[in-house]
Amino acid sequence: METQESFIIEGLAGERKLTGEIKVGGAKNAVLKTLAGSVLFADEVSLERVPGIEDVSRMCEALEDLGAKIEKGETGKYKIKTDGINSSVITPAIAKKMRSSIVLTGPLIARFGSVSFPFPGGCVIGKRPIDIFLDAFKKMGAEVKEEDNNFTVTASGGKLHGAEIFLRLPSVTATETLMMAGVLATGTTVLKNVALEPEIASLGEFLNSCGAKIEGLGTPVITIEGGELLSGSEKTYLTPPDRIEAGSFVIMAALTAKDLKISDCDPSQMDALLESLISAGVNMEIGKDYVRVFDNENKTFSPVEIKTHEYPGFVTDLQAPMSIFLTQATGQSYIFETIYENRLNYLETISRFGARVRVLDSHRALIDGPEVLSGKEVESPDLRAGLAYVIAGLIASGQTIVHNVYYIDRGYEKLDERLRAIGAKIKRAPREA
């Protein structure tokens, strides 16, 4: 249930004071897809390092609605009992809370021969066409019917069959959804022009360890040989570190930290971000599983050009947090958002903090800096823009109030507690009527 809570932040007024260590949690974009993949299993799926975030709760809610039983053990340990899954209808009320519910369609139609689902919901950051999914299911022998924005996909003869599918866009979610659909299909499925995000390989490797036959992980072409239901007995999925959370903290550290270590992460998955920050003049030490940001108190940062791109390019989910960094760079920076249209809408609010922002169109913007930001009361429109507002509040003078904390909780576990532990003045409070 969504709670009406807010973050109240006392800004640092540009001072770099935060110190210590902040540990990165398990990857949201990896664990959600593995949870959805539990539908492919005859028995159970065990997971560790599961982040305590809203999106995980919503995916678990969806699985329980389908008939799964979920046991929560020690912190971050989950066991999904899948032998009781007996429905292939994704409840609209659940799906509309979470766009990643679409990933359930592949495993469900593969297991049951049909799936019913509404147009997926979640953050409003542009159109999310699902024709790429529907066209692929048709190629695998399914019939698609739409009525009142609800879709029913039925496989001919009750079973998907392998097909050669070229993705016109290298969509992460489509790659994962169709890869899982192929695991139980009859014959061979070949996916071309797939996304290369590391979470895909993480999911595929785990499925392979449980009986799937997937080849080409980490390459543009993935081949899946269909088979039987998988078995997760005595197998555990260890959720990899969240590269988006890690990147968010590195950006925040560059602007707010005296000496901060971002640990339990994989810097090799953040090359595009780290190179951009280094080129801007941010001082950091990059280790095997950490990034330490320090000695930037009197630094003048250079402007940079950011062009979002599929992995290994600059990830779109870090575009909003990075914009706050650009407000503090000396000169004019350029943002080119290539993945989603209208993902720059939040910049109007950033300008209210005092930033000099010029939105050129739905994909491009210019930011001039450096500019002293002043605290404001703002509404979080989505997960990543909400985090950007928190960073803006941390570097601003005065008090910032960020409403709609629910969106931020979808991807960042106990953010306020973790930031207080490194010296930030931030608290969570019920929203006043």
Cross-strand pairs, 357? 367
pLDDT above 90 (res 28): yes
Which pLDDT does position 1 carry in this prediction?
43
Number of Cβ atoms within 10 Å of the Cβ of 358: 12
Catalytic site includes residue 123: yes
Which pLDDT does position 127 carry in this prediction?
47
pLDDT of 200-230, one tens digit each?
999 999 999 999 999 999 999 999 999 999 9
Tokens of 407: 């969106």
Separation between Cα atoms, residue 287 and residue 293, nearest integer Å: 11
Residue 151, phi then psi, degrees to nearest 5: -110, 140
Which pLDDT does position 208 carry in this prediction?
98
How is domain 5-25+241-430 classified at the architecture level of CATH?
Alpha-beta prism (3.65)
Are 418 and 15 in contact, with CB atoms under 8 Å apart?
A: no
Of 57, 59, 79, the C-alpha closest to 69 is 79
Query: Roughly how many angstroms between the first and final C-alpha of the chain, as a whole number?
Result: 18
In 171-249, the DSSP E strands lie at 188-192, 213-215, 221-225, 236-238
Q: Positive or negative, the Cα torsion across 219, 222, 227, 230? A: positive
Q: Which has more pLDDT, 96 or 406?
A: 406
Are 53 and 242 in contact, with CB atoms under 8 Å apart?
A: no
Which pLDDT does position 126 carry in this prediction?
44
**242-260: average pLDDT:** 98
Separation between Cα atoms, residue 50 and residue 77, nearest integer Å: 6
DSSP of 83-118: TT----B--HHHHTT-GGGGGGHHHHHHHHSEEEEE
pLDDT of 144-179, one tens digit each?
999 888 899 999 999 999 999 999 999 999 999 999
**348-370: average pLDDT:** 97
Burial of residue 48 (CB within 10 Å: 0-12, 13-18, 19+) is middle
pLDDT class of 71 with cuts at 50, 70, 90: very high
C-alpha dihedral (388, 277, 242, 393), degrees to nearest 10: -20
Of 273, 271, 267, the C-alpha closest to 287 is 267
Q: In the block, which residue shows the tokens 């992995």?
A: 311
Are 263 and 292 in contact, with CB atoms under 8 Å apart?
A: no
Same fold, 5-25+241-430 and 28-238: yes
Of 89, 84, 88, the C-alpha closest to 71 is 84
Residues in the chain: 433
Amino acid at 198: P
Residues 163, 165, 168: CA angle, nearest 5 degrees: 165
Q: Are strands 18-23 and 44-48 parallel, antiparallel or unpaired?
A: unpaired
Separation between Cα atoms, residue 114 and residue 125, nearest integer Å: 29
Are 252 and 24 in contact, with CB atoms under 8 Å apart?
A: no
Helices 271-280 and 319-326 pack at an angle, to 10 degrees, of 0
Which pLDDT does position 123 carry in this prediction?
46
Number of Cβ atoms within 10 Å of the Cβ of 356: 14
pLDDT above 50 (res 274): yes
Residue 290, phi then psi, degrees to nearest 5: -155, 160
Tokens of 101: 């519910």
Are 263 and 246 in contact, with CB atoms under 8 Å apart?
A: no
pLDDT above 90 (res 119): no
| Mean pLDDT for the chain overall | 95
DSSP of 328-362: TBSEEEEEE--S-TTTTTTHHHHHHTT-EEEE-SS
How is domain 28-238 classified at the architecture level of CATH?
Alpha-beta prism (3.65)
Number of Cβ atoms within 10 Å of the Cβ of 287: 11
Read off the DSSP letter of residue 329. Answer: B
Are 317 and 273 in contact, with CB atoms under 8 Å apart?
A: no
- Boundaries of every domain in the chain: 5-25+241-430, 28-238
Q: Exactly one of 60, 123, 210, 265 is catalytic; which is it?
A: 123
Q: Which residues, 6+ apart, have CB-to-CB distance to 409 below 8 Å?
A: 53, 54, 415
pLDDT of 362-413, one tens digit each?
999 999 999 999 999 999 999 999 999 999 999 999 999 999 999 999 999 9
Amino acid at 292: R
CA 100 to the chain's CA centroid: 9
